[in-house]
Amino acid sequence: MRSVGNDIQPYGPEFFKGCAAGSTASARVIAPMVLDLVEPASVIDIGCGIGNWLAVFREQGIEDLLGIDGDYVEEDQLLIPPDWFLAFDLTRPIHLERRFDLVVSLEVAEHLPAERSADFIRSLVKLGPVVLFSAAIPFQGGTHHVNEQWPEYWAELFQKHDYAAIDCIRPRIWTDDRVEWWYAQNVLLFAEKKHLADHPKLKAEVAQTRSQQLSVVHPRYWLAANYRLDILRQLPVISQDLSRIIPDRTTFVLVDQGGLDENPLPKCHRFHFPERNGQYWGLPADDATAISELERMRASGARFIVFIDQTFWWLDYYAGFGRHLRENFRVALENDNLLVFDLSR
């Protein structure tokens, strides 16, 4: 986030593009549940990005909407009308002349300095009686995550304003693959206690919430974290094998599903596959996308593509991509841990 008086870096168009599909798909599952429980006529989203969640609330019939995020959000990317968006530095307290029925802030708080936590929650509760909230847990990882906390940390800050935690969304979406795991793991409702008297559905859910057991880890996150640890354990062997066939100062592509931040060959330049702005970009949509990305990287100077054993399945799942590699490029190394293709024709 960029604003006068702080040094937090902005999030560019590629960052929001990368989040868009998963965010919208998740919203289309979660938003109807929230609407049934809260019955809002107005919604504000703090840290809305390009407005994925607000666009889904609009699909559900809500027209009184407002999104707030930094001035790094480009108007031509917005999925909501520009006059529904307010550019604002989220490290500062938010003061508006009105309240909304529902406040949304999802995977935002971890991007703000820890010393701003209390002020941020104070801003949220001033904006409405019910807050749909999620924030990254410790070691979750992500772009500019400077304040990862367990849910109880945030629940305590809400409690200071007499807002109760309601853990009723996560059980309904826990195994739904349409929902990104970080929402399934982290999303909670917080409601002003005096507001519950007129909302029996929310009141009933409060009674079912185990407020001392809000911290959970999703299986998809657990597997991803251990996948990375497994790679790190193999790193010395991977590095030794690769150093025998990839010359120093050579650019290569590493297919590792984003699990390996460390460069196994520090004297070489490594591309993630696929990548944008130096970051792993997720699985290719199809064979054609994978081939196109490979050719783009070759044009950028990549001389080798490296598969580690955890990604050997790519060559079966993306069968056309696998054929393209084997028919056009020499296998430079193949063993139980690595498969390397020389990308020079």
Choice between 133 and 219, residue whose per-residue pLDDT is larger: 133
In this predicted structure, what is the pLDDT of residue 19?
56
In this predicted structure, what is the pLDDT of residue 277?
64
Confidence of residue 3 (pLDDT cuts 50, 70, 90): very low
Q: Is the pLDDT of residue 224 over 60?
A: yes
Closest CA to 344 of 279, 280, 283, 299: 299
**Interior angle at CA 6, CA 5 and CA 10, nearest 5:** 125
Q: What is the mean pLDDT of residues 32-58?
A: 97
Closest CA to 2 of 50, 71, 86: 71
* CA–CA dist 17, 76 (Å, integer): 12
- If DSSP codes are grouped into helix, strand and coil, which group holds residue 27? helix
The residue type found at 267 is K
In this predicted structure, what is the pLDDT of residue 275?
80
Residues of the chain above pLDDT 70, percent: 92
- What CATH class has 13-216? alpha beta
- Per-residue pLDDT reduced to its tens digit, 70-106: 998 999 889 999 999 999 999 999 999 999 999 999 9
Instruction: State the chain's mean pLDDT as an integer.
Output: 89
β-partners of residue 288 are none
Q: Is the pLDDT of residue 170 over 70?
A: yes
* CA–CA dist 311, 322 (Å, integer): 12
* CA–CA dist 47, 55 (Å, integer): 14
Q: What is the mean pLDDT of residues 185-196?
A: 96
Confidence of residue 214 (pLDDT cuts 50, 70, 90): very high
- Per-residue pLDDT reduced to its tens digit, 245-278: 999 999 999 998 766 777 888 889 988 888 876 6
In this predicted structure, what is the pLDDT of residue 20?
66
- If DSSP codes are grouped into helix, strand and coil, which group holds residue 301? coil
Q: Is the pLDDT of residue 15 over 50?
A: no
- Per-residue pLDDT reduced to its tens digit, 276-332: 766 777 788 889 999 999 999 999 999 999 998 888 989 998 999 999 999 999 999
In this predicted structure, what is the pLDDT of residue 11?
52
- Tell me, yes or no, if the pTM score tops 0.95: no
| Domain coordinates in residue numbering, the chain | 13-216, 221-342
* CA–CA dist 129, 327 (Å, integer): 61
β-partners of residue 45 are 67, 104
